[in-house]
Structure 1
């Protein structure tokens, strides 16, 4: 089975089209930042089991309160979370009383406010964490793959893996700009957690393929005398079953969580699901073709 050859141009072209679509979506729709990154307030209420609460009823009850950036999520059987632009204690009491009077009996469980200074700090730390993780991956791969034939560069292995990771992140971000626009998904700290987890899973699959390429270049390997494209193709065929089976197991778990889980974790699960699919694809059809193309130039 020849997975490379002229086919590698098609892999890169397909990814390029998807990423370009995502970038256009980002420019048009942008991302909907959550309270963690722009500041705001959260109110959590617990309702009585016999009351008939709904998202629409709560919004109608608060229609005359002039609440900016209001988002409402249900958690559990009788729990509701309201996210909005930063408010004070008096405004919070107005909201709670309006819900009690117009919808039904409820009890306040939590009230939190994230100021702009805290959200700015969290935004900077999130970007720094992702960049630091990428640089750490480059140095780790370069160190782990230092014992290679002279015509192979460990740094090219590391940078090829990072290009595949950037590919994954751009697709997830592009997808979330569409989801933010049409379904109201927000970018919060859980989303950053999902991105960092995606980085780990994706680079794990890539390292498995790269490690097999290294092993097949050893002098005792039957493929050691072949060119890099042939060795890389053999390595992909040898590891593809393992990569697909591992990723499929995780994807099935995520689908179950998405089906049975609550609304509050839905954006996190969707981000993980998109990232796992793109990460599996990129480790096979992006990182390795880039590595082969780079070494053949």
Structure 2
């Protein structure tokens, strides 16, 4: 899109942009002002910010096995994700399962909608059971247009491998007959077999409405649990963190955003002004999109948004650097703007599409917080590309049209002698090896004492202590007075607290406590607060991140990495680019892991979000440099490794200012979050800052150097090195 605005059109466009920004800002302010206030919250908030419903089920089966409990918890987790990706399910004691769903206040409505977990059987027409609910992997309501153009509502069943075999045999022998589906001795559907179903997929047709199809699918899903459950108790629980958590995070976002805008204007002048306006629009669009798509927002989610604001500047920095290069080559400002956007396009698209691939895989295959993170990441990527490639361009063209055309208002890149970064690759590799080795040594030392990493309740479970006080306390009072007492007795710096609404009960979740520690903790509450010792309840609880969820997360990350590798290989037509980028990504993950190991930062649900954020950031940073290498290699015949070395050093030097400026803007946002945030968010922000530094370091000092080594030594035609 060339600059075609005249002065009048430029003024009109700026007025339109101002009106759009004003409208978005007003809409966003309404959403944020009502968040966490009253019954009807604009944005769905997680348990940590707004509380929700806690339902505890009693297992009716005698002596359930650990495998049955684990399987039931996992299936319940997948079931309640329809309410919120941030819902959690964990074991309490030996035979109870607790479900916590954020953002709702009516336990009875959830119980009615969720349904009572019971026995599900598939029977023949003469009443013989041939298949049970645990052979159903999933059931979903859907619709389609039939040949007459009418909408049909159906339930699609996905069977397990065992279920597919059994179902195929029975349907083959019962074509034309009914096969009743029985839930708790009640026939909930009586479909007729039209043909043999042998592929592990089946459809139940004849639903009158989508609601009827969804009700049947829901009953089948909840009936596919390994164990039968009955409601033991249900409560509405308060937020785990005080209102200060939201206000301090919003304050950090506002201050960080202002600093980033000021930085952009000082460094890039008129383009910086355009980027700042686009960044404000981007921020409003992110908030509005989260609200419209009803994405549950937790404290790590807020941190993720704040981080994405810093990363959203990245595309603008790439474009502005290109514009300055074109101006330095002697072209006019208008021509340089047009060429700058065109040349920056491939780097922006490749970097963001690579991260978007990861988000898509994580969203499809992940569960729990991983799925929620993927949604937020995808929204941030799409909106940042839109604002950088379209909004920033329109604003910049409008500013140019109204008379801001002087070259000094845009700047020009300075000719720099290439930094000899490739020659020092041995030093860079050694530094990384030492840092990562320190992390493994630290984990080894701590492993000898029982825990390689400082795992929180989310990963290893612990003890839940419910204390009935004689009056209601605020979250701030609990954090200031009671939590330090619990920490002193348990030695646990990651105590989680939850208030039970409608009562004076407070739930304290800590690491696993011995019987003596439980008695000491109970006595402390009796002595200091006059609590009745007999009314204090203590139960062992399992991790909220089950082994199946961890497996899902690991599987999703591995598949995402493979997909990114294939995409980079395809786009750059060279597997060495892809392998180098992935190794740099692994490097950053290990460096952040070292941070967790040596600083003993609590490894909880935010750990997964932190690692996923670093993966997205690292790959984006590396792709930009590789894009410049690809461009500089066009039309050049590489004779020996000296030529290859010069190309690599030149590309690194050309993109160095972009790498530094993007890192600064992103670091500012996270640093403000660390500086002003509550303790929980600081444990998330600190390793993120380490990851940002590592991501920039690996892109500049590791990834390109690895590519140089691979390019020189691996392939059909090895490149000679005259220096060796």
* Corresponding residue for residue 658 of structure 2: 242
Partner Cα distance (2:433, 2:637) in 1: 33
Partner Cα distance (1:283, 1:112) in 2: 48
User: TM-score by structure 1 length?
Assistant: 0.77
* Corresponding residue for residue 149 of structure 1: none
Partner Cα distance (1:81, 1:268) in 2: 23
Query: Deviations 1:35-70 (Å, cap 9, x if unpaired)?
Result: 22222356799734778615433446xx4xxx6967
Check whether the contact 1:254–1:272 (CA below 8 A) recurs between aligned residues. Answer: yes
Residue 53 of structure 1 aligns to a residue whose secondary structure is helix
Instruction: Kindly report which structure 2 residues correspond to 1:239-278, keeping only aligned pairs within 5 A, or say none.
Output: 239-278=655-694
1:40 correspondence with 2:40: no
Question: RMSD of the alignment, in Å?
Answer: 3.4
Partner Cα distance (2:690, 2:615) in 1: 12
Partner Cα distance (2:646, 2:453) in 1: 42
Partner Cα distance (1:244, 1:81) in 2: 46
Instruction: Kindly report which structure 2 residues correspond to 1:102-181, keeping only aligned pairs within 5 A, or say none.
Output: 102=528, 115=542, 119-146=546-573, 154-180=574-600
Higher helix share: 1
Residue 186 of structure 1 aligns to a residue whose secondary structure is coil
Check whether the contact 1:36–1:122 (CA below 8 A) recurs between aligned residues. Answer: no
Residue 47 of structure 1 aligns to a residue whose secondary structure is coil
* Corresponding residue for residue 193 of structure 1: 609
Residue 253 of structure 1 aligns to a residue whose secondary structure is helix
Alpha carbons of structure 1 residues 118 and 258: separation in structure 2 relative to 1, 3 Å: closer
Query: Deviations 1:94-141 (Å, cap 9, x if unpaired)?
Result: 978954761599xxxxx9985359621222223223322221221121
Alpha carbons of structure 1 residues 23 and 81: separation in structure 2 relative to 1, 3 Å: farther
1:13 correspondence with 2:430: yes
1:28 correspondence with 2:445: yes
Partner Cα distance (2:579, 2:473) in 1: 52
* Corresponding residue for residue 703 of structure 2: 287
Check whether the contact 2:458–2:544 (CA below 8 A) recurs between aligned residues. Answer: no
* Corresponding residue for residue 72 of structure 1: 495
Partner Cα distance (1:25, 1:244) in 2: 30
User: TM-score by structure 2 length?
Assistant: 0.33
Check whether the contact 2:425–2:705 (CA below 8 A) recurs between aligned residues. Answer: yes
Alpha carbons of structure 1 residues 264 and 274: separation in structure 2 relative to 1, 3 Å: same
Residue 509 of structure 2 aligns to a residue whose secondary structure is strand
* Corresponding residue for residue 83 of structure 1: 509
* Corresponding residue for residue 302 of structure 2: none
* Corresponding residue for residue 3 of structure 1: 420
Residue 83 of structure 1 aligns to a residue whose secondary structure is strand
* Corresponding residue for residue 484 of structure 2: 56
More relative contact order, 1 or 2 (CA 8 Å, 6+ apart): 1
Partner Cα distance (1:269, 1:289) in 2: 29
Residue 71 of structure 1 aligns to a residue whose secondary structure is coil
- Per the TM alignment, residue 5 of structure 1 is displaced from its structure 2 partner at its CA by 4.2
Alpha carbons of structure 1 residues 159 and 59: separation in structure 2 relative to 1, 3 Å: closer
Query: Deviations 1:212-235 (Å, cap 9, x if unpaired)?
Result: 00011112xxxx345221111111
Residue 266 of structure 1 aligns to a residue whose secondary structure is helix
Partner Cα distance (2:544, 2:597) in 1: 25
Which structure 1 residue ranges, 5 or more long, are not aligned?
106-110, 147-153
Alpha carbons of structure 1 residues 274 and 289: separation in structure 2 relative to 1, 3 Å: same
- Per the TM alignment, residue 163 of structure 1 is displaced from its structure 2 partner at its CA by 0.7
- Per the TM alignment, residue 155 of structure 1 is displaced from its structure 2 partner at its CA by 1.0
Check whether the contact 1:209–1:239 (CA below 8 A) recurs between aligned residues. Answer: yes
Alpha carbons of structure 1 residues 47 and 200: separation in structure 2 relative to 1, 3 Å: same
Query: Deviations 1:243-295 (Å, cap 9, x if unpaired)?
Result: 11011111111111101101112221112111111000001100000000111
